[in-house]
A and B are shown apart, each in its own frame.
Chain A
Amino acid sequence: MDWEALWLSVRLGALTVLILLPVAVLAGRWLAVTRVSGKSLIEASLALPIVLPPTVLGLYLLVAFGAGSWVGRLWQELFGHTLVFTFEGLLIASVIVNIPFAVQPIQRAFEAISPDLREAAACCGLSKWRSLWRIELPLAWPGILTGMVLTFAHTLGEFGVVLMVGGSIPGETRTISIAIYDRVQAFDNESAGLMAGVLLLISMVTIALSYLFTHRLGRRHD
């Protein structure tokens, strides 16, 4: 059992959620109410990681993060090391890959809030931030939770992009999914099975908790 890989995956998942939470809430809220032209194009671009094969996305990110790109060179200058095959690189890739998994449920949650409530908040004199904090966020919370759980679970299971951008450096970029693959390649089915079982358990618990919370919130707001 590669505990280091499991810890790395959990850390990657948690950090991805942490970074995406504010971004996805603001983007989801904006997309839910905006009438800007070209909204469909923006939504399509954000959804791209869902339909794009992970290896294709991984390849683009590898090129974009590599020493030949301005992003890679800037990173090298700022931090003294490359972005590819590092945990930071993996984290940035993970954030990009997970955008649709975080944004879409949150956008749907904000869309489900009746415009009357937003307008009532405005007529009550609430500022935009107070309206978001007191009215919209509590009502959109199940969707936000779903987005975060999906992001976390998806990060644990992500394989293609991780392998392309991060490789399999123990303690740096080897996630639990990569570790399982490595063990299977080494005919160590016992370890692979154990790790798969742990991953299954974590996923089950996370998803069950999120359903539990969502139902409880849903009942409260009906």
Chain B
Amino acid sequence: MTEAKGLTVRIEQEQPIPLDIDLAARPGEILAIVGPSGSGKSTTLRAIAGLDKPQSGHIVCNGATWLDTATGIDLAARQRRVGLVFQSYALFPHLTTLENVLEALQDRPAESRRDEALALLARIRLEGLEDRLPRQLSGGQQQRVAVARALARRPDVLLLDEPFSAVDRVTRQRLQHELAELRHDLPMPVLLVTHDLDEAARLADRICVIHRGRSLQTASPEAVMTRPVSPLVARLVNLRNVFSGSVAGHRADAGVTSLEWQGRTIEAALSDEFKPGEPVTWCIPADSIIVHRRDRPSQGERENPLSGIVREAVRLGETTALVVVVGDDDREPFHLAIPTHVARRNGIEVGAEIGFSIRTEAVHLMPPDPDGAEQSATD
């Protein structure tokens, strides 16, 4: 599936870190590679940049084959047009801001290099800092120099390795904002490696979830976070409300699939790829659980009405996190987050009974949770 434009990556290896990666990114798209520490995110990025050679793989960028182990093609990093922003930024410490950028412009005519470097620095808001050494710059400024240097290469793919992890929260938000602005001018695919799911969801067009060296799902942030392909992905994206049940039946006319869960019936959007009687895992995003108000009925109250006892109520600033047990089985509680003032006004505290609905549309079905997935996803 070689695309003329963009990047396609297929990597397989056993050693030193097992990898089984399959991903593609279109020009101008930000693809976030998300996974826990040690899942192989950075290794994937290094293989694309040509810094590590996978045992077997195929990498094509903008129609050029960078790696094809079958035919022995393996371009060195300096031959691949990649812009890589290292987690440490890896600025040349003895060179000024301008000189750092100039190093990446060596393939341009000598007379235009300086102007080009200055234009890049201006574009990334570093005017006036051209003669500073990296140690004389703040963390945020260093990150910008690293981005300018990566772009100076006129890369066919821009690779960002946890680019926001080394700065404070305020700077991080500002830099993320700048990337979101800058991306509209970037013609190449951008791969953003991060362990921060919120960051990925904010910045990326699509997310590729990696776990233990395997790419599990590549889809829009919304799809990954509400319709994970497996219980493992659900847990990796921190979906808390994941339950085991079985398919009771389908009503195609109403567009509904009924589930049997702990002796109750839960209605989901029609998912007739699962057969009646088949065990399934189902999940519901926390924001699709509607807590009933005591004084008057809420919108959507008829959809899957449930009631339970609040086991935990933890106030986290303006939000209160609730753990609610439905029925006698407390192995599969619901996790809800409601505004603290709502909790207070409705007297929602530990021991209280509350009613809530779960939106039929948002109930998502997956194949059953294989043994151990729960543990392996979070360790």
Q: Which of A's residues lie within 8 Å of B, judged by CB?
A: 114, 116-117, 119-127, 130, 134-135, 138-139, 220-222
**Contact status B88-A124, CB under 8 Å:** no
Known contacts: A121-B103, A123-B82, A125-B104. The answer to whether A222 contacts B135 by CB under 8 A is yes
Please tell me if B344 contacts chain A, counting CB pairs below 8 Å.
Answer: no
- Interface residues as binary, B42-85 with A (CB distance below 8 Å gives 1, 0 otherwise): 00000001110000000000000000000000001110011110
Residue with the highest number of chain B CB atoms closer than 10 Å, among A125, A134, A221: A125
The prevalent SS among residues of A at the interface is helix
Nearest to A127 among chain B residues (CB) is B78
Q: Which of B's residues lie within 8 Å of A, judged by CB?
A: 49-51, 76-78, 81-84, 86, 88, 90-95, 103-104, 106-107, 133, 135, 149-150, 152-153
**A3 CB to nearest B CB, Å:** 41
Residue numbers in A under 8 Å from B78 (CB-CB)? 122-127
Q: How far is the CA of A90 from the CA of B152 in the complex (A)?
A: 52
**A74 CB to nearest B CB, Å:** 41
Residue numbers in A under 8 Å from B94 (CB-CB)? 138-139, 220-221
A to B CB contacts below 8 Å, 7 in the list: A114-B88, A117-B90, A123-B51, A124-B104, A125-B81, A126-B103, A126-B106
Residue with the highest number of chain B CB atoms closer than 10 Å, among A119, A127, A220, A222: A119
Residue numbers in A under 8 Å from B49 (CB-CB)? 119, 123
Residue numbers in B under 8 Å from A130 (CB-CB)? 106
Nearest to A139 among chain B residues (CB) is B94
**Contact status B51-A124, CB under 8 Å:** no
**B251 CB to nearest A CB, Å:** 56
Known: A120-B86, A124-B78. 10 other contacts (CB 8 A): A116-B90, A117-B92, A122-B76, A123-B82, A123-B150, A124-B153, A125-B153, A126-B106, A135-B103, A222-B93
**A118 CB to nearest B CB, Å:** 9
Known contacts: A119-B90, A120-B86. The answer to whether A125 contacts B135 by CB under 8 A is no
Known contacts: A125-B104, A126-B106. The answer to whether A119 contacts B135 by CB under 8 A is no
Known contacts: A114-B90, A117-B90, A138-B94. The answer to whether A123 contacts B103 by CB under 8 A is no
